[in-house]
Amino acid sequence: MNSDTDSFAFTSARSRWPVILTGIVDDLSRTTLESDGEKAEEGKALIEKVGALKYEVEHDRTLVPLEDDGLYDVALYNSEFERQGPMSWGNAPWLYSECYLYRKLYGYLQTTAHWKDYDFFARQKLDAFKSSEVAVAELAIRYKTLSGQLHGSVSKEQLHLLFREFIDISLWGNATDLSLLTNLSLDQLQSLQGEKARKESEKNILVNDVDKAWDAIFSVEGGRVDLILDNAGFEFYTDVLFALFLLDSGLADTVVLHPKAMPWFVSDVLPVDLPVLINALGSSSVFTMAREEIDFLREQLVKYNEEGKIIVRSSGFWTTSLAFWEIRENGLGGGHEVWQDLKESKLAILKGDLNYRKLTYDAAWPRTTPFTTAIGPLATNQVKLFSLRTCKADVVVGLTEGKEEELEKAWVDITSAKGKPETGKGWAWSGKWAVMPFSSGKN
């Protein structure tokens, strides 16, 4: 709940959302200035609406049902709204109110003629990706070297090691999401993304089922792997790299990428972010280093995409407020269709923090709760899933007895040593620890 003073939900609703909304107003202002005629007029109206929404959030106003903008999910949001009962911004379930916030913003765009597909986070996403240049180059070089080796004979053990490495890269790619880390300097961003930082972070993986995920992949020849994406830019680049590795090595025949269908939680991937990524990689003014290696990687990506081996498939389910417990036979809001789809996959990999919150119902589980309990019906619904999540919110499950206390103490020590002591609970949303739980779907 946003009213829980000990939670990150509390800080999010009061400090982060107003900053995010201000960022949207700035972006809209820039685009409005570059526009004329009806589009500029609509831009001004949008700026006013977002400004008014920010005022409501900051003054803890009551939430009202979504206006009908003609899209299929309004009824779903509003029936969930009824179910929750009266809510204000400062006193609402965090998951529902945060999804509602982004959905409301998308609704504003739907009332216009010229802004329907506008992404107010596109500039930010691209700028952050550009500032990842060093890590982008480092990984492109690594990928090209490995591709050469993959064409020779590679043992199962070597493939297993590489699998672990690419998973690791994709996991820590999630540490750089823009909704949290907007103030990072270039140096800080690069030090988060480099190989050395990843190696040092290995001890911070609190739940590590990577070998179970490996078994799920290796036990079926070829087949399909699904990536339920999270953030655009550098994280998406690491996910694409992982997809290329799966296809190059024959560990999968196809990889299905699942982006969001509307601007979501600032930095999430939209379908258009694949061409945006391909263009950015192709531009020698954006990425000046390791050109040969980046071109090589880009060509592989374009080729697999054209051959239908990398497929992009978007579902409105990912932007409802519903927990992933709905990914089941009688699931609501598109959950049934997603269930039917993912059952065909040999592994569904869910990236990031929000996906983990939705897997676990964003509930206040005791931290020693088994993951397969916290994901409810998903644990028995035939979908093999693997979550790659750096911890950036309150919910964390699957810890061993005593671990939580140890982490709380560690976080007090770390923050005190920096002269800014924080509550021990902050470890869970610092982004410094991670979990990688697996479920076979057959518990």
Residues that bind ligand F6P (CB under 6 A): 8, 12, 98, 174, 177, 179-180, 230-231, 265, 352-354, 357, 392-393, 429
Nearest to 107 by CA among 146, 71, 157: 71
The answer to the question of residue 268 lying near Mg ion (CB under 5 A) is yes
The token pair that represents 254 in the structure block: 């196809």
Q: Pick what 12 binds: ligand F6P, Mg ion, none; C-beta below 5 to 8 Å, kind-dependent.
A: ligand F6P
- Angle, CA of 100, 10 and 324, to the nearest 5°: 45
Coil vs helix vs strand at 226: strand
The answer to the question of residue 209 lying near Mg ion (CB under 5 A) is no
Among 118, 236, 265, 361, binds Mg ion (CB under 5 A): 265
The three-state (H, E, C) secondary structure of 29-47, written as one string: HHHHHCCCHHHHHHHHHHH
Taken as a whole, the chain contains a residue count of 443
Question: Which C-beta is closer to Mg ion: that of 49 or that of 351?
Answer: 351
Q: If you ran DSSP here, which 8-state letter would residue 19 be given?
A: H
Question: Which C-beta is closer to ligand F6P: that of 11 or that of 369?
Answer: 11
Q: Where are the beta strands (DSSP E) in 342-433?
A: 347-351, 385-390
Question: Which C-beta is closer to ligand F6P: that of 98 or that of 133?
Answer: 98
- Report the half-sphere exposure of 47 (CA within 13 A, side-chain side): 15
The answer to the question of residue 239 lying near Mg ion (CB under 5 A) is no
Nearest to 115 by CA among 42, 20, 50: 42
Question: Which C-beta is closer to ligand F6P: that of 108 or that of 318?
Answer: 318
Task: Return the range that interacts with Mg ion (CB under 5 A); candidates 74-82, 246-254, 262-270, 395-403.
Answer: 262-270
Longest dimension (CA), the chain: 63
Among 12, 32, 231, 345, binds Mg ion (CB under 5 A): 231
Least Å distance, CB 268 to ligand F6P, is 7
Least Å distance, CB 388 to ligand F6P, is 10
Q: Pick what 360 binds: ligand F6P, Mg ion, none; C-beta below 5 to 8 Å, kind-dependent.
A: none
Can you say how many angstroms the Cα of residue 431 is from the centroid of all Cα atoms in its chain? 13
Least Å distance, CB 87 to ligand F6P, is 17
The token pair that represents 57 in the structure block: 């959030």
Least Å distance, CB 231 to Mg ion, is 4
Can you say how many angstroms the Cα of residue 347 is from the centroid of all Cα atoms in its chain? 17
Least Å distance, CB 78 to ligand F6P, is 22
Question: Which C-beta is closer to ligand F6P: that of 138 or that of 177?
Answer: 177
- The mark string for 146-185 relative to Mg ion (x by CB under 5 A, - otherwise) is -------------------------------x--------
Q: Pick what 119 binds: ligand F6P, Mg ion, none; C-beta below 5 to 8 Å, kind-dependent.
A: none
Nearest to 254 by CA among 298, 299, 222: 222
Question: Which C-beta is closer to ligand F6P: that of 146 or that of 175?
Answer: 175
Among 168, 226, 230, 239, binds Mg ion (CB under 5 A): 230
Coil vs helix vs strand at 88: strand
Coil vs helix vs strand at 119: coil
d(CA 34, CA 22): 19
Least Å distance, CB 288 to Mg ion, is 28
Cα distances (Å, whole numbers) of residue 408 to 2, 389, 433? 21, 19, 12
Question: Which C-beta is closer to ligand F6P: that of 8 or that of 129?
Answer: 8
- Report the half-sphere exposure of 168 (CA within 13 A, side-chain side): 21
Interface residues with Mg ion (CB under 5 A) are: 177, 230-231, 265, 268
